């Protein structure tokens, strides 16, 4: 018995077979195990060979429903002249789309295709077909609606877009506007952080909301919304003033400490100054700064609570600079500059066959040359006004900007005007409803996937199809193969099954393919302080607290606290609207899940009970939330965890959702209330730059 | 006979409810009936707020009040594991078990019969984890014999002491 793995024991009990998979609920993509019997997924859990071990979050375990959901897209559809989607054959869909893409390329150039994706699933096929072969530079993830500011801040400081966290070895963790214990993040980090805390690691959380993470913190700093940048600069001021940075590390590895020090001192970013802005007492700021500087290893990181404001980019640059000047980078217990597995592309395309775009990505022409991802909220300008150049085709892959971007009406106008729109999804999302062609994708249970996990070291996940695709749905790689054949690129897609290209992708891994297939994951060595051997790929070869990249592009090379783009509450609109995430749902694609809908069936506006009393509303009452742009009716939740003056609305529900029988009509779509506001450098959407008033409905 | 039970660490639970759903998925239960349930409580006034998240299922009590209360002798206690289970063919749904249970554990199922945690009876005890325990992201739930669990809680307390630099600590009041 003890020789058996727990997989084998479960298979013995249930008569199932284990097929390794990957969770596609959120972009952290935890490795999983699916237990299959007679073409049905019986049970799911985490992959015991991966960092998350057998664990799943509530959304992950609930996602078993998507392998059975009768409401999924089952066949290709095309919108007819009456605006109704009708079933068509795959052959018709692929022939027509391929023909029109070719025509658009001939007339307007390959740059006029924009391909957007959210979950980065099998996106290497997008890059090879629409990038290498077709030649569009406009391929982008959903970063603008997500972690755009963090990515740019990390790129400018570390020349690495996605630092991850080594909580397991940390002694001091400070999280800014990030709630890993609540909505999401890489799941193994939750366990590692709590275990580190049992060993005496300190947790400090900066968040106006008493989040799930704030609940667990030793110190919670209930900051005024959008002012994190001032707090971070004040901590920097204290560290510079007391010279408690890591001098020998800075001498060797940091570019611009002198300029950074001069900047925070001469601008008077003192704890006293920050107290008036942030609402955090100067004594507390000093105590936290001193503890951070004195404790090693330490790490500081931030996410949505910062990037949702126009002040977020500089706040994150300061937070990352604090890691760097105290020598807390890429060592055990620090932010880790994750090394990727040596994965190859699935197709071999000779260099001379690649199409080189003549125009730069549209973000350049939109005034965001440093934007890591395309600022999707600005697409309507390109489509409707040909600015900076014409965009004629939009190709969406499991991404739903109709729900997730601000200014929904403008998005609808763009979708009506664009020449060709295609959405590939497993559900009839709001973006699919507005698209001309809708192609049904096989769910994560029905397709293969080769990808990098979010563990701190290199780790490859090989997810495998556990059951046959529902209806006529197809895995993305087969959709792209079909499209490529119709476009005349069939020669490069000459594989018979997913295993052929999966072997090509994983050929460089130091593990036999069969072993990778059996376990579903391969884990490399987690190397620390890689800069010692590999250097830092910034132009100065050092970590930059004075950004040469920003300087070259004409931006301020040092982080400032600039509130000129903030939309603050006033007498007419007294509430700060916070567009937040829910612990029990993810984005816009879990609202047809019966497990999750039984936990929270609709979204709500959450306000402090003191504000509720002032407005004379009670838990469950309907209220009208109005911004200067639009209004929406929604139910109230009262909470002691919410800062007075703040109205929190989780997004994802509502919009008269048609995508499934459980989702339909539940909740309120809040995004029409937001006007399009973005960080002026990164182009990341500033969802929280919105003031509202609340009245009893 | 052994007595098995659950250890629950409130410092680790974040109220995510993955345990509730793992229980429903493994046991093929409907989405609205919860054999394991997470209760999240908060008290106080912003920003002085305190609270707890508690994931609770049947405790499989040594002296089970539900078993004593059942007029149909539908509730029995497993000789080997101490697990308390309902025989749904004998149950008539009178709910006396629920009213006597100090934890509100037995639940009315869709068919008008009581249902409750079976301690994942198909899963061999001492060999693999229960479904809730297996899925919990923070590993806040641990199953084992009562003796193992008592030992564990002592070890967890000792572990905390081992990382505390101070020579004298009042456990449970370290921050004071």
Q: What is the CATH number of the domain that holds A490?
A: 3.40.50.740
A44 touches chain B (CB under 8 A): yes
Same domain assignment for residues A208 and A328:
yes
Chain A residue with CA closest to B155: the answer is A198
The share of chain A scoring above pLDDT 70, in percent, equals: 99
ipTM computed for the complex: 0.95
Strands (E) across A622-689 are located at 622-626, 631-639, 646-650
Which of A1, A9, A58 has the CB atom closest to B16's CB atom?
A: A58
Token pair for residue A145? 């609606």
Task: Report d(CA A18, CA B75) in Å as an integer.
Answer: 35
| Best residue in B8, B10, B19, B22 for a mutation probing chain A (most A CBs within 10 Å) | B22
Of A379, A682, A380, A412, the C-alpha closest to A547 is: A682
Same domain assignment for residues A168 and A140:
no
A39 touches chain B (CB under 8 A): no
A639/B42 Cβ within 8 A: yes
Show which of residues 61-80 on chain A sit within 8 Å of chain B, judged by CB atoms. 61-62, 64
Chain B positions touching chain A (beta carbons under 8 Å): 11-12, 14-18, 20-22, 24-26, 31-32, 42-47, 49, 51, 53, 122-124, 127-129, 134-139, 156, 159-160, 163-165, 175
Angle at Cα A327 formed by Cα A325 and Cα A329, nearest 5°? 105
Cβ contacts of A1 on chain B, cutoff 8 Å? 124, 127
Task: Report d(CA A11, CA A34) in Å as an integer.
Answer: 11
B7 Cα to chain A: minimum distance (Å):
16
B124/A640 Cβ within 8 A: no
pLDDT digits (tens, 9 = 90+) for A207-225: 999 999 999 999 999 999 9
Task: Report d(CA A449, CA A458) in Å as an integer.
Answer: 16
Cβ contacts of A595 on chain B, cutoff 8 Å? 21, 24-25, 31
If you ran DSSP here, which 8-state letter would residue A356 be given? P
Output A416 or A2, whichever has higher pLDDT: A416
A625, β-bridge pairs: A632, A694
Helices A312-325 and A257-266, interaxial angle, to 10°? 120
B84, β-bridge pairs: B77
Task: Report d(CA A174, CA B89) in Å as an integer.
Answer: 55
Contact between A567 and A677 under an 8 Å Cβ cutoff? The reply is yes
Same domain assignment for residues A581 and A690:
yes
Of A34, A8, A5, the C-alpha closest to A21 is: A34
Q: What is the CATH number of the domain that holds A229?
A: 3.40.228.10
Contact between A326 and A106 under an 8 Å Cβ cutoff? The reply is no
Q: What is the pLDDT of residue B90?
A: 96
A127 touches chain B (CB under 8 A): no
Q: Tokens 């007595």 identify what position? A: B3
Show which of residues 176-215 on chain A sit within 8 Å of chain B, judged by CB atoms. 181-182, 187, 190-191, 194, 197-200, 210, 212, 215
Q: What is the pLDDT of residue A2?
A: 52
B136/A55 Cβ within 8 A: yes
Contact between B145 and A35 under an 8 Å Cβ cutoff? The reply is no
pLDDT digits (tens, 9 = 90+) for A495-547: 999 999 999 999 999 999 999 999 999 999 999 999 999 999 999 999 999 99
pLDDT band at A1; cut points 50, 70, 90: very low
- The 10 Å Cβ neighbour count of residue A84 is 9
Please return the burial class of A488, using the count of CB atoms within 10 Å of its CB with bins 0-12, 13-18 and 19+. Answer: exposed
Cβ contacts of A194 on chain B, cutoff 8 Å? 11-12, 138
Token pair for residue A514? 């069969």
Task: Report d(CA A511, CA A522) in Å as an integer.
Answer: 7
Contact between A689 and A566 under an 8 Å Cβ cutoff? The reply is yes
Q: Tokens 């509100």 identify what position? A: B104
Q: Which of A276, A305, A336 finishes a domain?
A: A336
Q: What is the pLDDT of residue A657?
A: 61
pLDDT digits (tens, 9 = 90+) for A317-329: 999 999 999 999 9
The answer to whether position A28 is within a domain reads: no
Q: What is the pLDDT of residue B110?
A: 85
The domain total for chain A is 3
Same domain assignment for residues A622 and A664:
yes
Q: How many contacts does A have with B, using Cβ atoms within 8 A? A: 123
**Sequence-ordered alpha helix ranges (H) in A442-586:** 476-487, 498-505, 513-519, 531-534, 548-552
Q: Which of A301, A336, A371 finishes a domain?
A: A336
Angle at Cα A161 formed by Cα A22 and Cα A532, nearest 5°? 105
Task: Report d(CA A13, CA B128) in Å as an integer.
Answer: 11
Same domain assignment for residues A238 and A317:
yes
A212/B25 Cβ within 8 A: no
| Best residue in B15, B18, B21 for a mutation probing chain A (most A CBs within 10 Å) | B21
Cβ contacts of A46 on chain B, cutoff 8 Å? 135
Same domain assignment for residues A171 and A309:
yes
B16 Cα to chain A: minimum distance (Å):
6
**Sequence-ordered alpha helix ranges (H) in A542-581:** 548-552
pLDDT of chain B, 176 residues: tens digit per residue: 799 999 999 999 999 999 999 999 999 988 889 999 999 999 999 999 999 999 999 999 999 999 999 999 999 999 999 999 999 999 999 999 999 999 999 999 988 999 999 999 999 999 999 999 999 999 999 999 999 999 999 998 888 888 888 888 887 777 66
CA A519 vs CA A21, A63, A186, A515, A632: distances in Å:
10, 21, 20, 6, 48
Domain hosting B25: range is: 4-162
Task: Provide the CB-side half-sphere exposure for A287 (13 A, CA).
Answer: 10
Work out the end-to-end distance of chain A between its first and last CA atoms, rounded to an integer number of angstroms: 63
- The 10 Å Cβ neighbour count of residue A595 is 23
As a whole number, the mean pLDDT across chain A is 95
Longest alpha-carbon distance in chain B: 59
Cβ contacts of B128 on chain A, cutoff 8 Å? 6, 9-10
Task: Report d(CA A663, CA A587) in Å as an integer.
Answer: 13
pLDDT average, residue stretch A157-186: 95
Token pair for residue A198? 């049992």
Helix (H, G, I), strand (E, B) or coil at A500: helix
Domain hosting A654: range is: 575-696
Helices A90-108 and A476-487, interaxial angle, to 10°? 60
The answer to whether position A599 is within a domain reads: yes
B138/A190 Cβ within 8 A: yes
Work out the end-to-end distance of chain B between its first and last CA atoms, rounded to an integer number of angstroms: 43
Same domain assignment for residues A206 and A301:
yes
Contact between A440 and A463 under an 8 Å Cβ cutoff? The reply is no
Q: What is the pTM of this model?
A: 0.96
Token pair for residue A176? 């800014």
Task: Report d(CA A394, CA A405) in Å as an integer.
Answer: 15
Of B6, B72, B15, the C-alpha closest to A182 is: B15
Question: For A695, phi and psi rounded to 5 degrees?
Answer: -135, 155
Of A561, A562, A563, A558, the C-alpha closest to A262 is: A558
Q: Which residues touch A618 (CB under 8 Å, ≥6 apart)?
A: A612, A636, A638
Angle at Cα A631 formed by Cα A630 and Cα A633, nearest 5°? 160
B27 Cα to chain A: minimum distance (Å):
10
A219 touches chain B (CB under 8 A): no
Same domain assignment for residues A178 and A238:
yes
B138/A194 Cβ within 8 A: yes
Chain B residue with CA closest to A217: the answer is B11
CA A446 vs CA A21, A41, A120, A346, B114: distances in Å:
10, 10, 17, 19, 36
The answer to whether position B40 is within a domain reads: yes
Task: Report d(CA A11, CA A423) in Å as an integer.
Answer: 38
Same domain assignment for residues A100 and A176:
no
Same domain assignment for residues A408 and A488:
yes
Angle at Cα A212 formed by Cα A206 and Cα A216, nearest 5°? 75
Q: Which residues touch A174 (CB under 8 Å, ≥6 apart)?
A: A203, A204, A205, A206, A288, A292, A298, A299, A300, A301
Task: Report d(CA A235, CA A245) in Å as an integer.
Answer: 11
Strands (E) across chain B are located at 4-8, 37-45, 48-56, 75-77, 84-86, 107-108, 114-115, 141-145
A191/B139 Cβ within 8 A: yes
The answer to whether position A67 is within a domain reads: no
In this predicted structure, the answer to whether residue A659 has a pLDDT above a threshold of 80 is: no
Task: Provide the CB-side half-sphere exposure for B124 (13 A, CA).
Answer: 14
Q: Tokens 């390329």 identify what position? A: A105
Same domain assignment for residues A218 and A310:
yes
Dihedral sign, CA of A642, A647, A652, A656? positive
Q: What is the CATH number of the domain that holds B58?
A: 3.30.70.20
CA A328 vs CA A229, A250, A277, A299, A336: distances in Å:
19, 11, 27, 6, 10
The domain total for chain B is 1
Contact between A32 and A449 under an 8 Å Cβ cutoff? The reply is no
Chain centroid to CA A540: 29
Question: For A259, phi and psi rounded to 5 degrees?
Answer: -65, -40
The answer to whether position B174 is within a domain reads: no
Q: Tokens 């284990």 identify what position? A: A18
The answer to whether position B170 is within a domain reads: no
Q: What is the CATH number of the domain that holds A659?
A: 2.40.40.20
Q: What is the pLDDT of residue A220?
A: 98
Q: Which of A304, A336, A368 finishes a domain?
A: A336
One DSSP character per residue, A60-109 reads HHHGGGGGT-TTS--S-EEE-TTS-EEE--HHHHHHHHHHHHHHHHHHH-
Helix (H, G, I), strand (E, B) or coil at A459: strand
Length of chain A: 697
A199/B163 Cβ within 8 A: yes
- The 10 Å Cβ neighbour count of residue B103 is 13
CA A329 vs CA A182, A291, A315, A531, B106: distances in Å:
25, 17, 18, 10, 51
Same domain assignment for residues A319 and A170:
yes
Task: Report d(CA A383, CA A103) in Å as an integer.
Answer: 17
- The 10 Å Cβ neighbour count of residue A256 is 24
The answer to whether position A32 is within a domain reads: no
């Amino acid at each position: 018995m003890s020789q058996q793995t727990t997989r084998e024991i479960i298979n013995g009990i249930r008569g199932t077979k284990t097929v390794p998979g990957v969770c596609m609920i959120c972009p952290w993509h935890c490795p999983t195990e699916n237990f299959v019997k007679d073409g049905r997924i019986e049970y799911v859990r985490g992959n015991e060979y991966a960092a998350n071990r057998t664990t799943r979050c509530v959304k992950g375990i609930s996602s078993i429903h998507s392998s059975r959901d009768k409401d999924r897209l089952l066949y290709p559809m095309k919108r007819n002249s009456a605006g109704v989607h009708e079933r068509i054959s795959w052959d018709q869909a692929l022939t027509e789309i391929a023909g029109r893409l070719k025509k658009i390329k001939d007339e307007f150039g390959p740059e006029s295709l924009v391909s957007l994706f959210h979950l980065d699933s099998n996106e290497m096929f997008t890059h090879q077909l629409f990038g290498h072969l077709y030649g569009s530079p406009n391929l982008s993830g959903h970063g603008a609606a997500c972690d755009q500011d963090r990515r740019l801040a990390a790129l400018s400081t570390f020349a690495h877009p996605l630092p991850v966290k080594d909580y397991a070895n940390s002694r001091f963790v400070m999280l800014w506007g990030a709630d890993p214990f609540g909505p999401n993040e890489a799941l193994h980090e939750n366990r590692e952080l709590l275990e580190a805390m049992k060993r005496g690691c300190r947790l400090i959380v900066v968040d106006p909301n008493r989040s799930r993470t704030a609940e667990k913190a030793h110190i919670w700093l209930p900051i005024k919304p959008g002012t994190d940048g001032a707090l971070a600069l004040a901590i920097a001021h204290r560290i510079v003033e007391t010279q408690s940075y890591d001098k020998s590390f800075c001498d060797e590895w940091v570019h611009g400490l002198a300029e950074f020090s001069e900047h925070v001192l001469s601008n008077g970013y003192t704890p006293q100054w920050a107290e008036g802005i942030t609402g955090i007492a100067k004594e507390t700021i000093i105590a936290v700064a001193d503890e951070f500087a004195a404790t090693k290893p330490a790490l500081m990181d931030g996410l949505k609570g910062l990037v949702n404001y126009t002040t977020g980019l500089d706040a994150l640059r300061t937070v990352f600079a604090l890691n760097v000047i105290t020598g807390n980078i890429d060592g055990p217990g620090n932010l880790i500059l994750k090394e990727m597995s040596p994965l190859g592309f699935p197709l071999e395309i000779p260099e001379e066959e690649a199409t080189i775009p003549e125009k730069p990505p549209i973000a350049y022409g939109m005034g965001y040359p440093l934007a890591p991802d395309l600022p999707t909220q600005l697409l309507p300008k390109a489509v409707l006004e040909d600015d900076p150049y014409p965009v004629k085709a939009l190709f969406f892959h499991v991404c739903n900007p109709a729900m997730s971007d601000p200014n929904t009406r403008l998005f609808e106008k763009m979708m009506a005007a664009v020449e060709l729109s295609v959405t590939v999804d497993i559900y009839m999302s709001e973006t699919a409803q507005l698209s001309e062609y809708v192609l049904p994708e096989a769910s994560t249970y029905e397709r293969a996937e080769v990808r990098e996990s979010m563990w701190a070291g290199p780790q490859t996940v090989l997810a495998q199809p556990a059951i046959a695709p529902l209806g006529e749905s197809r895995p993305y790689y087969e959709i792209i193969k079909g499209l490529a054949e119709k476009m005349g690129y069939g020669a490069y897609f000459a594989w018979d099954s997913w295993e052929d290209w999966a072997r090509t992708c994983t050929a460089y891994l130091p593990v036999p393919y069969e072993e990778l297939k059996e376990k579903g994951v391969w884990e490399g060595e987690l190397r620390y302080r890689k800069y010692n051997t590999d250097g830092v790929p910034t132009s100065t070869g050092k970590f930059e607290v004075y950004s040469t990249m920003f300087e070259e592009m004409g931006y301020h090379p040092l982080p400032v606290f600039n509130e000129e783009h903030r939309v603050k509450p006033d007498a007419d609109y007294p509430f700060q609207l916070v567009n937040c995430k829910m612990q029990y749902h993810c984005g816009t694609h879990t609202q047809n899940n019966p497990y999750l809908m039984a936990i929270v069936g609709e979204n709500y506006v959450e306000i402090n009970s003191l504000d509720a009393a002032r407005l004379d509303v009670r838990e469950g009452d309907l209220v009208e939330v109005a911004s200067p742009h639009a209004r929406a009716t929604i139910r109230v939740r009262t909470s002691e965890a919410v800062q007075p003056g703040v109205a929190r609305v989780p997004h994802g529900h509502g919009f008269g959702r048609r995508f499934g029988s459980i989702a339909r009509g539940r909740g309120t779509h809040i995004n029409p209330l937001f006007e399009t506001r973005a960080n002026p450098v990164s182009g990341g959407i500033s969802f929280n730059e919105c003031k509202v008033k609340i009245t009893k409905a | 006979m052994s007595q098995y039970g659950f250890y629950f660490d409130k410092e680790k639970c974040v109220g995510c409810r993955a345990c509730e759903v793992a229980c429903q998925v493994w046991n093929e239960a409907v989405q609205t009936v919860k054999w394991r349930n997470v209760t999240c409580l908060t008290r106080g006034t912003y920003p002085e707020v305190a609270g707890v998240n508690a994931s609770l299922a049947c405790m499989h009590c040594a002296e089970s009040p539900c078993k004593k209360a059942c007029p149909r002798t539908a509730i029995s206690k497993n000789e080997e594991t101490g697990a308390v289970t309902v025989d749904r063919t004998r149950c008539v749904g009178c709910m006396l078990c629920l009213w006597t249970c100090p934890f509100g554990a037995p639940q009315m199922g869709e068919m008008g019969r009581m249902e409750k945690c079976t301690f994942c009876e198909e899963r061999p005890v001492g060999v693999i984890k229960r479904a809730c325990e297996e899925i919990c992201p923070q590993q806040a739930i641990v199953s084992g014999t009562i003796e193992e669990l008592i030992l564990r809680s002592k070890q967890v307390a000792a572990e905390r002491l081992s990382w505390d630099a101070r020579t004298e600590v009042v456990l449970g009041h370290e921050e004071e």
